[in-house]
């Protein structure tokens, strides 16, 4: 049975319409650069990992990247345009020269056709000073599950579809344990044979605590934010859960340069990002991060390794032409 593409199409259509103001600003900056009225803008794509997040990013005129964009424009002494972008548009934007750089999730980075040619400039550093975090596989304290392999036939709660930690890295952990998605108890609704996706780590934890899921994946940062001991019924708390395993550690986002971007500009952009935490800390507040750092090869290899379990991006999966008629979710 063909999966209905309507929900995804409607959400992405909203992004296009609501983001037209952002797109127009970028097009305007490009036009001014082409006719010589100003320097050619540095065009950067910010790719949301969930359609709903992208819609909010596009609709909000004071979006979270605006302070960073303004600081970058002043520092680089060049117009900077930051656009909301469809996941499948990254490679096309790089190939056509429309985008000079992009900020992407690890899963989106792993999907690029040639990661070796897309230079990673920096990765985000969270407010605890970490360039990477894991997702934790949690179960009730009295659960018989001792290792990921014990999840065969059980209901497992994941985070949002395509979330790098709570979905993709989680599947990778299960694959390493010898489990495929079909080895789990799959959902009947909203799509038969689908994984159980919940909106965030808190919802996953609550699902495990109330018994509607045998296990689930929560972000390490969310786990640290849970109370040590629960005082209210159903409240996520560390004493109501037991950690069985952790996924590979991943950054929140990577900043990548288009293959055609010249080295001098790439270095200038990297230098700005490395120093922005000290020079313009308020520009990072809306993003919820402390700064950026240059990643090591081990971290980049972990991101590229997601390609082994990667699934189609939401917009790609929504296209009837890109999906076989009998392909399950």
Would you give the end-to-end CA distance of the chain in angstroms?
10
Beta bridge partners of 293: 123
To the nearest whole percent, how much of the chain has pLDDT over 90?
64
* pLDDT band at residue 213 under the 50/70/90 scheme: very high
Q: Name the residue ranges covered by the structural domains of the chain.
A: 6-130+250-322, 135-246
97-116 residue pLDDT tens: 999 999 999 999 999 877 77
Please report the beta strands in the chain, taking only residues with DSSP state E, as ranges in sequence order.
42-46, 80-84, 101-104, 119-126, 135-139, 156-158, 196-197, 215-219, 242-246, 254-257, 289-293
Q: Which of 6-20, 197-211, 301-315 has the lowest mean pLDDT?
A: 6-20
- Rounded mean pLDDT of the chain? 83
129-152 residue pLDDT tens: 999 999 999 999 999 999 999 999
CATH 3.40.50.300 fits domain 6-130+250-322:
no
Please list, in sequence order, all residues whose beta carbon lies within 8 angstroms of the beta carbon of residue 31, skipping any fewer than 6 positions away: none
Q: Rounded to two decimals, what is the model's pTM?
A: 0.82
Identical topology for domains 6-130+250-322 and 135-246: yes
d(CA 321, CA 2): 11
Cis peptide before 189 (omega within 30 of 0): no
254-305 residue pLDDT tens: 999 999 999 999 999 999 999 999 999 999 999 999 999 999 999 999 999 9
* pLDDT band at residue 77 under the 50/70/90 scheme: very high
Which CATH architecture best describes the domain 135-246?
Answer: 3-Layer(aba) Sandwich (3.40)
């Amino acid at each position: 049975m063909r999966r209905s593409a309507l929900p995804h199409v409607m959400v992405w259509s909203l992004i296009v319409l609501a983001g037209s103001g952002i797109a127009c600003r970028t097009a305007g900056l490009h036009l001014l650069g082409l006719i010589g009225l100003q320097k050619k803008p540095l065009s950067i794509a910010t790719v949301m990992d969930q359609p709903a997040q992208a819609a909010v990013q596009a609709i909000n005129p004071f979006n979270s990247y605006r302070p960073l964009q303004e600081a970058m424009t002043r520092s680089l002494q060049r117009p900077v345009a930051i656009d909301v972008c469809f996941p499948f548009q990254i490679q096309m934007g790089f190939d056509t020269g429309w985008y000079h750089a992009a900020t992407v999730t690890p899963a989106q980075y792993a999907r690029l056709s040639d990661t070796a040619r897309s230079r990673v400039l920096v990765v985000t550093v969270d407010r605890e000073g970490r360039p990477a975090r894991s997702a934790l596989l949690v179960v009730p304290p009295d659960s018989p599950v001792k290792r990921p392999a014990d999840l065969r036939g059980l209901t497992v709660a994941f985070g949002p579809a395509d979330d790098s930690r709570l979905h993709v890295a989680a599947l990778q952990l299960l694959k390493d344990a010898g489990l495929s998605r079909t080895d789990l108890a799959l959902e009947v609704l909203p799509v038969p044979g689908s994984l159980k996706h919940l909106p965030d780590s808190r919802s996953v934890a609550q699902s495990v605590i109330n018994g509607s899921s045998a296990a689930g994946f929560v972000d390490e940062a969310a786990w640290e934010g849970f109370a040590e001991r629960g005082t209210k019924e159903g409240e996520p708390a560390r004493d109501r859960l037991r950690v069985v395993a952790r996924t590979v550690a991943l950054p929140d986002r990577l900043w990548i340069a288009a293959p055609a971007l010249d080295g001098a500009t790439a270095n200038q952009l990297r230098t700005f990002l490395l120093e922005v935490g000290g020079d313009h800390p308020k520009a990072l507040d809306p993003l919820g991060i402390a700064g950026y750092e240059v990643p090591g090869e081990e971290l980049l290899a972990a991101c590229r390794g997601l390609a082994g379990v990667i699934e189609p991006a939401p917009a790609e999966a929504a296209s009837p032409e890109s999906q076989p008629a009998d392909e399950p979710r």
